[in-house]
Amino acid sequence: MFNTFFPILVLIVLATIIAIAMATVSVIFGRRTKGGAKGEPYESGIKPVGDTKERIPVKFYLIAILFIIFDIEVVFLYPWAVIYNKLGMFGFVEMLVFVVILMVGYFYILGKGALKWD
């Protein structure tokens, strides 16, 4: 059992030593500047305008979640395409049902207006 977990223990110890060493070297040799733009948030070189506590519309999050969901669903098409010849007609029909269900969901959210950016 020791032979199995020894490399993992060495890796954890080594990673911890490297992390501590890099943090220490950064504190010792790092340049310290105060004031100026150091305390301001970085916005692509543009001076920030307004309050940082602006409200973001829920529509933004809804579109982001829908994108992630449909993106993940489309990833299931790649393994199917790789072994398409081995699956035969059964695999084709099964993937056709999957795509139809995916399209029904897409047209449903399209009909509800979830993707309209007002």
pLDDT at 44: 60
Rounded-to-integer distance, Cα 37 and Cα 15, Å? 33
Is the pLDDT score of 40 beyond 80? no
At residue 16, the pLDDT reads 98
Give pLDDT tens digits for 48-63. Answer: 677 767 777 778 888 8
Query: What is the rounded average pLDDT for all residues in the chain?
Result: 84
Which 8-state DSSP code applies to residue 35?
S
Query: pTM of the predicted model, to two decimals?
Result: 0.49
Domain formed by 2-29+57-112, architecture = Up-down Bundle (1.20)
